[in-house]
Amino acid sequence: MSSEKLLGQEAAVTTVKAAEGFFRRLLNKNETVQNAVNWGRRWSFFQYPFVTACCGMEYMATAGPRYDYARFGAELPRFSPRQADLLMVVGTISHKQAPVLRTVYEQMAEPKWVISFGVCASSGGFYRNYATVQGIDTIIPVDVYIPGCPPRPEAVLDAIMMLQEKVKEERRPLLPIVD
């Protein structure tokens, strides 16, 4: 085996990697591609409902035919965090449950968003006591908070629209850059 041949192979690999990096960067910077991907993401939220309390009724009302969040493309709840990209924390979270919620969040694949549904999830609500987490943002990052005890379905739809606006403006890398 000649050393020249080896060097030639290495050079080829480096060239290919450089070319790949160039195209990835180009794609990530491309506004049209970004906008297209964001359009796809914001009109097809697959939500994971982490329902722990009475807010679940309002969640069901929002999912039902009268309010029907399928109009916003969020029509398929996935009951596995692996298949979901929108975590809806619906209800009171106790300290005992906090590690479970954290695990569910970590199990979701990127990109992922979180909606805090109702005052209990957002701040602990009137459960100002030893058992309740005073806001899930002490455990996981939250994108949109919905006030209300429980919130009206209109408020939930508003939150979904706000999240859509947020996703529309997002500029996250579409492909990971490997150098």
Burial of 104 (0-12, 13-18, 19+ CB in 10 A): middle
Q: DSSP code of 140?
A: S
Q: Provide the minimum distance between the beta carbon of 156 and other proteins in the complex, in angstroms, as a whole number.
A: 28
Sequence-ordered strand ranges (E) for the chain: 47-51, 86-90, 113-117, 144-146
Q: Is 99 in the site for other proteins (CB under 8 A)?
A: yes
Q: Is 44 in the site for other proteins (CB under 8 A)?
A: no
3-state secondary structure of 107: helix
The phi, psi pair for 79, rounded to 5°, reads: -95, 25
In this chain, which of 107, 127, 158, 174 binds other proteins, going by CB under 8 A?
A: 107
Q: Is 131 in the site for other proteins (CB under 8 A)?
A: yes
Nearest to other proteins of 9, 129 (CB atom):
129
Sequence-ordered strand ranges (E) for 33-93: 47-51, 86-90
Residues in CB range of 69: below 8 A, 6 or more apart? 62, 63, 75, 156, 157, 160
Q: Provide the minimum distance between the beta carbon of 100 and other proteins in the complex, in angstroms, as a whole number.
A: 7
Q: Going residue by residue from 137 to 166, which x/- string records binding to other proteins, judged by CB under 8 A?
A: -xx---------------------------
In this chain, which of 53, 98, 142, 174 binds other proteins, going by CB under 8 A?
A: 98
Q: Provide the minimum distance between the beta carbon of 46 and other proteins in the complex, in angstroms, as a whole number.
A: 19
Q: Is 54 in the site for other proteins (CB under 8 A)?
A: no
Q: Provide the minimum distance between the beta carbon of 22 and other proteins in the complex, in angstroms, as a whole number.
A: 33
Total of chain residues touching other proteins, rule CB under 8 A: 16
The phi, psi pair for 50, rounded to 5°, reads: -95, 80
Binding site for other proteins (CB under 8 A): 95-96, 98-100, 102-103, 106-107, 128-131, 134, 138-139
